Structures are given as structure tokens and as C-alpha cells.
């Protein structure tokens, strides 16, 4: 792990993405949260790697994207701020997978708004 990597994590609506957006505006290297981008891409292409359709495929896409971003961040100098980290892939607060023990998919209306 690099000593100049920082992960911002927390519950839904805590302001993580707003903080990271402002840090990027101020010139810091930032790595966006992968879940929203995956949802946008899957919807655009008619895919089903979505938390309410195929939770495992969605989580796998998040992990692949996060690992790729982590590798790419090693080429950057100075602080790099990540919007969430790979542990959040299975976190109840980000909810790509249901932790209730039920086989029902998560309710898509409970997900954060997806920016276009």
C-alpha cells in the first residue's frame, strides 16, 4: 500500500462524493466510486450486472474496476484520494449485495441517484 493513498468511506449520504469532487476541483488526484459508472454502463448497453439484477456480476465488475484503478494510481505523484475502497464492495452501506440472508435482490429505488 502506498503512503500517499487515502480512502474516503462512510454511510450513504455522508458526503463522500461531494468531498472528493471538491478535492478534484482543487487539483488533487481522485478516483471515483465505481458502482455508479457500472450502473450507467450496464443500463446503456442493456446489461444485467446490476445490484438488482445480478448482484454477483455487479460486485465482480466493481472489484475489477477498483483493482485496475488502484494499479493505475501507482503512476500518480502526490496524494491520491479514493471514493470508497474494495472492502465497500460487500458493505451493507453500498448495498451491491443483499446481507439480509434473503435471495431477493436489493430494491433499485434504494440506490443513490445515478448521474448522467
Mean pLDDT of 6-11: 88
Structure confidence at residue 84 (pLDDT):
77
Choose between 12 and 62: higher pLDDT: 62
**Which alpha helices (DSSP H) does the chain contain, by range?**
16-25, 34-45, 55-73
C-alpha cell at 46: 442493456
Report yes or no: 31 and 24 within 8 Å, Cβ to Cβ: no
Structure confidence at residue 89 (pLDDT):
55
Q: Which residues contact 80 (CB under 8 A, 6 or more apart)?
A: 2, 4, 5, 6, 28, 29, 30, 31, 73
Structure confidence at residue 91 (pLDDT):
41
By 3-state DSSP, what share of the chain in percent is helix, strand and coil, each rounded to 5?
A: 40, 10, 50
Q: Would residue 25 be called left, alpha or beta, if left means φ above 0 and alpha means ψ between -120 and 50 degrees? A: alpha
Which of 8-12, 69-73, 100-104, 107-111 is the least confident region? 100-104
Per-residue pLDDT band at 94 (split at 50, 70, 90): very low
30-70 pLDDT, tens digit per residue, is 998 888 899 999 999 999 999 999 999 998 999 999 999 99
Amino acid at each position: 500500500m502506498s503512503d500517499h493513498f487515502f480512502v474516503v468511506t462512510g454511510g450513504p449520504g455522508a458526503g463522500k462524493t461531494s468531498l472528493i469532487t471538491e478535492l478534484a476541483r482543487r487539483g488533487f488526484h481522485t478516483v471515483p466510486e465505481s458502482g455508479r459508472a457500472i450502473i450507467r454502463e450496464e443500463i446503456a448497453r442493456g446489461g444485467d450486472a446490476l445490484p438488482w439484477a445480478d448482484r454477483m456480476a455487479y460486485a465482480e465488475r466493481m472489484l475489477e474496476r477498483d483493482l485496475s484503478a488502484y494499479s493505475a494510481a501507482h503512476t500518480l505523484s502526490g496524494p491520491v484520494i479514493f471514493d470508497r475502497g474494495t472492502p465497500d464492495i460487500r458493505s451493507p452501506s453500498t448495498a451491491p449485495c443483499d446481507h439480509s440472508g434473503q435471495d431477493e435482490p436489493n430494491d433499485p429505488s434504494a440506490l443513490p441517484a445515478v448521474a448522467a
